[in-house]
A and B are shown apart, each in its own frame.
Chain A
Amino acid sequence: MLDDFFIRALLAGIGLAVLAGPLGCLIVWRRMAYFGDTMAHAALLGVALGFLLEINLTLGVFLVATGVALSLLLLQREDALSTDALLGILSHSTLALGLVLLALMHWVRIDLMAYLFGDILSVSRADLAVVAGVLVLVLALLAWFWRSLLAATVDEDLARAEGMAPKRARVLLMLVLAMVIAIAMKIVGILLITSLLIIPAATARRFAASPEQMAVMASIAGMLGVAAGLFGSLRFDTPSGPSIVVAALLLFLASRVLGSLFGRAFSGKEGDAS
């Protein structure tokens, strides 16, 4: 069954969506969407360096995304530029750097679109194994550090004062995010990874009464989006990444309509998800 490229893509996508649920919630709660986007854009530089140094591309993406995240943490300490401006610089310059580097390597012939927007045909058995490994590892890490992550999300000072380690939580979150970006590249593509993190979390917000509920609901919303998107991609011959994002968006809009219809029955007066 795993010989079928579509089944492989579906399994990889569902694995990704399971992770994207809790991780996307943390990113939404912590207002890190642009940060995630920056790390994702750096992935193309990882691809280019992977080709250049002849190392595994997934590993290359993970390393570069981690590197960008850590250098951002260091730059933030300088306080000379706002985080917003720093993200703007890193986000687009790493993407541009990756594109230029790939163009300079004449001997490398790749389909750039596949990396930017995902390509369901390219998910191999080895990729699937990596997804499975990352799935288990990331879920274990998130479960283990969940209280610490959540406390740091609510208030870093409070978490530190009461004996948690918010800095460690932040570094962990970055490493986990880099891993998820590395496996998400082939499925949704570099430019669209963040949407798979944000949209399902936003969909879940209105229906969730606790952080944990929201994480689980976001995973479910993500899985539905991935499945619908991949079927659509196959049916209409559209690139897999945009198809998944469109499906997730439709789900989000449907949840808003449902939310308005049943309104206060779910989570009360305000329904704000961003």
Chain B
Amino acid sequence: MTITNPAGNNTFSATRPDTGRAAVTKPGREILAECRHAGVYRDGRWLVQNVDIAVSRGEIVTLVGPNGSGKSTIAKMVLGIVKPDKGDVWKRPGMRIGYVPQRLVVDATLPLTVRRLMNLTGRHDTGDVTMALEATGISHLADVAVQHLSGGEFQRTLIARAILGKPDLLVLDEPVQGVDFSGEVALYELIRDVRDATNCGVLLISHDLHLVMADSDHVICVNGHVCCQGTPRAVAGNPEFVRLFGARAADTLAVYQHHHDHSHLPDGSVRHGDGSTSFDLHQHGPHCDHDDDTGGGDAG
């Protein structure tokens, strides 16, 4: 795979409609995809609500959050797989997208080699395929049936397939699950290298906080809604982040502290500092700057 750096990638986005209050809009960034106050409602509850996120060209945005917090739903919303029931989602038209879904099972009755899977959504040059497989360390498995791969090998295949089309936007939903530790480090490095070389935008969902944080430009902590977002350092010091992931995760990076004036209950409602609850869609600041003085409302 030849990775070229497209010239003039810092063009201003003139086509992006006026967003009013976007969460992470930075001047001079070409936004690839964006959710605005977006929510998804299923079976009587909000899977996610009031989501404001954006992914720009050349930026690695990482979604972190506990199981069932709606990380995959947000990724699917960005990709247009799930339509928002509230708010809206904007995606740059004509973008090439590479996607590694959280779960993909190829039926045992489908004869599919690694090489054939690489050409699933588009035909690629044989040399490019080989180079993408080499980049993820599985070129020796090109002619093996995908059903015979180990979990880690299959993830490497999916990553190779996603980066093969030189996408404008890479969406990776827990891409290194089942990969051994040294492999994880190498794959995250690869993702960063691909970003550096092609200036693509990356939306990454990951549990490996300590590995991911270093390379992320922007971290979004999700728990049914966007709890807090910002630089890895800022998010790691956020009390809501600490509550979700524990002090050890946060300790890997420097800490700054502030208190929360509300907490989120399992049904999606909000408990305020004074003990009342509501379903209002309150806004979180970019670094979750809740008022300090009301404090003490967190009930977990």
Contact = CB atoms under 8 A, between A and B. Distances in A.
Interface stretch (A12-20, A209-217, A235-243): A209-217
A168 interface: no
Nearest to B107: A29
A150 B120 contact: yes
Given A154-B117, A161-B79, A210 B112 contact: yes
Mostly helix, strand, loop or mixed at chain A's interface?
A: helix
B104 A210 contact: no
A158 B121 contact: yes
A31 B107 contact: yes
A272 B109 CA distance: 6
B99 interface: yes
A162 B98 contact: yes
B284 interface: no
Contacts of A213: 111
A30 B98 CA distance: 23
Contact of A160 (B79, B122, B147, B165): B79
B148 A268 contact: yes
Contacts of B111: 205, 208-211, 213-214, 267
Interface string B61-88: 0000000000000001001110000000
Interface string B96-135: 1111010010111111110011001110000000000000
26 contacts: A29-B109, A29-B110, A30-B107, A154-B104, A154-B110, A155-B104, A157-B76, A157-B99, A158-B101, A160-B79, A160-B80, A161-B76, A161-B79, A161-B99, A162-B121, A162-B165, A163-B96, A163-B97, A211-B111, A211-B112, A211-B116, A214-B111, A268-B145, A268-B148, A269-B148, A270-B148
Given A162-B122, A209-B111, A209-B113, 5 more contacts: A31-B107, A147-B122, A161-B101, A210-B116, A267-B111
